[in-house]
Structure 1
């Protein structure tokens, strides 16, 4: 048992002699009376004043139990305590209500601070979500644009290869005709001079950079899209293939005024050359 245990026993109401006896420090002679301990002898009997509370010498507060002292020391960092003969006065009903009111106010303030913190966290999460959504949308749009460019380049190469293949076949047919005529003694025929391709329409007077096309599908719905005036008609066909809602049948593009059905060669021409600048209506028609 430590000296702290002796103090606790004294706080519980035991005399100092009994506390020391329990601690194993009993002396053979009784303690002489001391003024500071309030010892008196009346009629041969010895009376000892017992400490009724523990006082904090730093702030003057009284405490009834050791637990209250330890809590106060941990909360305020006060370390100067001593025994006191003053009895800690119990709180009155008014003081109890005041203490309860302060506790409720403190709890209410803590709750408001917590709710305010939760609102700020929710706003920050929403801001980050919106920012992340915008970044994802921008990245998706960039990927779609890059994919569109790749598809246009691929379609352009395919068209060029098809055109070159058709030209090789035509050249081979002409060479075979010349060879057969020479073999069977027919009249020598000079190959026709290469045809000079005339532009289908004069270039527009004003240099438009973009054109806005309204594309009418076979089901009556319409698509609206802005293209560069230098883009080829094949870009319009690719856009229709990726966004149409009227099925997957083969189709052709045409205009109603002036009425014109675009040929395969027209798909390699810029929109400004085909007269589709600065705006036009393009009709999707099913191939027969």
Structure 2
């Protein structure tokens, strides 16, 4: 009946097994259908078209019982069975005392409980009353609800653990990225700091050289004037300080120029005047790269005709110097060049 089917489906039984049980028991009620489902729990559901419905209120199992009774009577008539032998009506668990209608139910109990001691019993399994049916249904529903709740808790716990792992992995990745950015920022700041220090030293050295050159020119002009006027030449005591002052300046320039700078900043002034050009080249580049850069900036410069020179220290670079690196020529980390075009 539809009510029994809905009840069994509400208890969580598979729909195919419910259909099988109802058809096999001839829709004789809830209890026979439940017994059928429990008896055939481990068996696959057959094609329902080949399942024979019970007729006249007698199931296939009951028909087998009738055949067994007839066989027993035949054996008794042949003297194979004692007339006073008692017929077993159920199977009893010796460990817990529960009785079962057939072997399938006893085996099901053994799998669930682990009990393995059974014996035949003359006790007859009484059909459940309506009250007992309701109680059993309530118990089954409660067990199903507990299983669903437990499964839901386990799934929620697994989901929470997975979410925690995912968040931790995300935090770790973000921390690694932040650490890398911080290291790069520190590295860049340190490089800029070293660059500023090098620039300051280079400017100080160039300034010292300029002052020394000015003093040397002033002394030279004083000596030339003394010679023209017939005056005595300035004493060696006066010239000694200028020489001693020029030496530290030259040493400072040499010290700065001798350091290993990867890049060289250049300011290139045209001898004919105009705005200077500024660029930064690798220190290993030859001096010819400066001429090529200048030729790319103005049409008035030709790489093969332009000459480059320095005011401080005063020097004019030859064509052979064009193949030498900026570092070897002492132009690092920065220098001012004068470009002359014929």
The structure with more radius of gyration:
2
The structure with the greater share of residues assigned to helix is: 2
Q: TM-score, normalised by structure 1?
A: 0.44
Q: What is the TM-score when the length of structure 2 is the normalising length?
A: 0.38
Structure in which a larger fraction of residues adopt strand: 1
